[in-house]
Structure 1
């Protein structure tokens, strides 16, 4: 009887050491995304927003990507304003450090990303997109807000700045 218990415990321990098929799919998906994303130093993005915005007005974030390299580079437009708000790619916090809730869609993605999911920029070219943050974030009270980009690992873009605005009545 003891031998069966020891054998059962050993089999259980050995079976938990391997990667389950669902975990392997997640690992493969993450690797595919990493393999297809451009290195963060290839392209640089900057965000800008008006300093003061009245409640009721659009909260427009301008996002500009620059290719400062001597050759063509590309980035994945997922998790950027170059597609509709389909993910929480920004961290928005008020002056007390309280994070604004994301209320937008959360897209499921196929891996690897299809070719039309990329944007190509020629040497020294730049491209801008604007997103109305009210369409995806619950910015609803007067306060000073700070915005940080959180998706370098997905898009391959390095965003060098954070931006702030005051939301007033």
Structure 2
């Protein structure tokens, strides 16, 4: 009988560990009202990629990455796995016209979860932010071919890029 009582008390204690208090500080309440976390609602921010159609060997392979906030609320996204931080992860899939994937040769950062506050970029209502990334710094693009670039890190950044981009690399 004593073992059942101990078991019941242990189950009760463990089940209460997941219960969250309903109280928030004034700062937490204010920040949740004025800032939308795109990881929970990724449709607020729209991201798109653009680049030149034809790129000569020896030139930079520049990808322009733009995030737009088309809503009336301020929003944020995690800059991890985007061009808004140095190439620290393989957030793009690059394939040639035969479907062969280009080797990623860049750094692979280990991350702590959840991302700290300084990992987020805040974007005001109806605003946009762009950055360029030279893909040659992290991808082995060295043969003449047509390449397709696809963003693969929606789960980390909270951004969705609906369209891939293509370019022809020539000698």
TM-score relative to the length of structure 2 = 0.77
* Larger helix percent: 1
Q: Secondary structure at the match of 2:155?
A: helix
Superposed CA deviations along residues 54-103 of structure 1, whole A, max 9, x for unmatched, are 00100000000000111000000000000000000000000000000100
- What is the CA-CA distance between 1:110 and the residue it aligns to? 1.3
User: Which residue does 1:58 correspond to in 2?
Assistant: 60
Displacement of 1:36 in angstroms is 7.9
Contact 1:68 1:125 (8 Å CA) reproduced: yes
- What is the rounded CA distance, in whole Å, between the counterparts of 1:124 and 1:46 in structure 2? 15
How many residues are aligned here? Answer: 135
Q: Is the 8 A contact 1:49 1:61 kept in 2?
A: yes
Structure 1 portions without partners, runs of 5+: 1-34
1:157 is aligned to 159
Quote the residue 1:135 is aligned against.
Answer: 137
Distance 2:108 2:159 in 1: 20
Q: Check if 1:102 corresponds to 2:93.
A: no
| Contact 1:58 1:134 survives alignment (8 Å) | yes
**Deviating 4+ runs (over 4 angstroms):** none
State the TM-score, normalizing by the size of structure 1.
Answer: 0.78
Q: Is the 8 A contact 1:38 1:155 kept in 2?
A: no
